[in-house]
Amino acid sequence: MKLLFYDTKSYDRASFDEAGKRYPDIAIDYLKTDLAPRTASLAQGYDAVCAFVNSDVGTETVKALHEFGVKVILMRCAGFNNVDVEAAGRYGIPVLRVPGYSPEAVAEHAMALALGVNRRLHKAYVKVRENDFSLSGLMGFNFYQKTAGIIGTGKIGAAMAKICRGFGMRVLAYDLYENPSLKEFITYVSLEELLSESDLISLHCPLLENTYHLVNKDTIAKMKDGVILVNTSRGALVKTEDLIDGIRAHKFFGVGLDVYEEETPNVFEDRSEQILEHSITARLLSFPNVMITSHQGFFTREALAAIAETTFENAKAWEKGETTGNEA
């Protein structure tokens, strides 16, 4: 089986080369360029392509992949909202993903963001490097005995709920489908109750039609004053313009984001002044109580190893005509 790997980073190659030793029948070629309609032709002669959450796997790309003989699309991530799954189905191209590579990695990063913005670690780091050891502007609040609101209680949300519980927090949750493994220490409530009661709100739900801009001016208005908001799921869960308005109105004690609406294309990959000047993500960075990281929640050794292993297993199962439960 021949696999073409798009948007290759050095760490991708290292983890896939290591895992690939156990799959000698799968040959991989790596490209630095990302998958898009104009680069789909590079997959001619390959059985499969491997893409990421930022890749353009829309209608045009899927059609081009079909025309060039690609038989399966392997997503090395959990999300697939960037894939035209219907078009892939019409062309008989299955789409396989990695739904649960390391939920603890993302949940731990979510709590790191929450702690960081709470205790103003990003500001403290800069102050001390400038030989300023004053405590002005660095006061936070205890998480102990406060209320955490977890929106989405799949594997990552469940891991975050357990972390919050370990901090001695009361944990509320909202999800259309309750997780029975969490019922001993969390309380499922309506979205409205979660928003109004929580001191920390962490988003852990997929990007669907009914979750698009879940955080908007109306839901922000229902939140407690002084709330901390963390998003490590999908950027478009939050309407950024409304978030900025809420920050300006001093609604939030802090905001921690590992994802943002402008990830495709990633605004930080184009350093031109014009792009940065008009970027809503860059505007967020102007606020002292906002911490933004570069979609690194998944980025641990364990997670990368699990992603590579599951991707190879998906390819192997497809070749054998088996289902994995990882179909998009």
The catalytic site residues sit at 234, 263, 295
Question: For residue 247, which of 262, 267, 268, 226 has the smallest C-alpha distance?
Answer: 226
* Beta carbons of 165 and 171 less than 8 angstroms apart: yes
Q: Is 237 helix (H, G, I), strand (E, B) or coil?
A: helix
136: buried, middle or exposed (CB in 10 Å: 19+, 13-18, 0-12)? exposed
The tokens for 49 are: 């392509």
Residues 6+ apart with CB under 8 A from 205: 151, 152, 154, 157, 175, 211, 214, 233, 237
Q: Which residues contact 275 (CB under 8 A, 6 or more apart)?
A: 267
Interior/surface letters 162-201, b for 16+ CB within 10 angstroms, e for the rest:
bbbbebebbbbbbbeeebeebeeebebbeeeebbebbbbb
Q: How far, in Å, CA of 237 to CA of 137, rounded? A: 29
d(CA 279, CA 303) in angstroms, rounded, equals 30
Q: Terminus-to-terminus CA distance in the chain, angstroms?
A: 21
